[in-house]
Chain A
Amino acid sequence: MDSLMVYVYQIAFSFSILILISLGLALIFGMMKVINLAQGEFLMLGAYFCVLGSNLGLPLWLAMFAAGLGVGLVGVIVERTVIRFLYGRVLDTLLATWGISLFLMGIVTTIAGPQSQSVPSNMGPVNFGGLNVPGYSLVMIVAALLMLAGTYAIWRFTNLGLLVRGTMQNPEMARALGTNTSMIYMFTFGFGSAITGLAGALLVPLFGASPTMGSFYISKAFITVISGGPWPLIGTVSASGLYGVIDGVVSYELSPVLAEICVLFVAVVMLRLLPQGITGRMRKGI
Chain B
Amino acid sequence: MLEAKNLISGYGALPILHGLSLRVDDNEYVGILGHNGMGKTTLMRTLIGHIKPMSGSISLDGEPITDAGAHKRARMRIGYVPQGREIFPSLTVRENLMMGALSGAEKRGGIVEEVLADFPRLERLLDRNGGALSGGEQQLLAIARCLCGRPRVMLLDEPTEGIQPSIIDEIADLLLAIRKRSNMSIVLVEQNLDFIQALSDRVLIIHRGNVTRTLTANDLNDPEVVNEFVGMG
Contacts and interface: CB of A to CB of B under 8 A. Distances in A.
B99 A175 contact: no
A177 B48 contact: no
A175 B69 contact: yes
Contacts of B91: 162, 165-166, 169
A176 interface: yes
Interface stretch (A11-19, A103-111, A112-120, A178-186): A178-186
B129 A176 contact: no
Chain B interface residue bracket vs A: 20 to 34
A230 to B, nearest CB: 9
Contacts of A181: 71
Contacts of A178: 71, 74-75, 102-104, 149
A81 interface: no
A177 B129 CA distance: 19
Contacts, number: 74
A173 interface: yes
Nearest to A174: B99
A175 B102 contact: no
Contacts of B49: 175-176
B37 interface: no
Given A176-B70, A178-B75, A283 B129 contact: yes
B95 interface: yes
Interface string A134-162: 00000000000000000000000001001
Contacts of A176: 48-50, 70-71, 74, 80, 82
A172 interface: yes
A163 interface: yes
Interface residues of A, number: 20
Contact of A162 (B70, B82, B98): B98
Contacts of A272: none
A12 B132 CA distance: 37
B90 interface: yes
A173 B86 contact: yes
Contacts of A165: 88, 90-91, 95
Nearest to A283: B129
B8 to A, nearest CB: 22
Given A174-B99, A177-B74, A178-B103, A169 B82 contact: no
Contacts of B69: 175
12 contacts: A162-B95, A163-B99, A165-B91, A170-B88, A173-B82, A173-B88, A176-B70, A176-B74, A176-B82, A177-B102, A177-B149, A181-B71
Interface of A: 159, 162-163, 165-166, 169-170, 172-181, 283-285
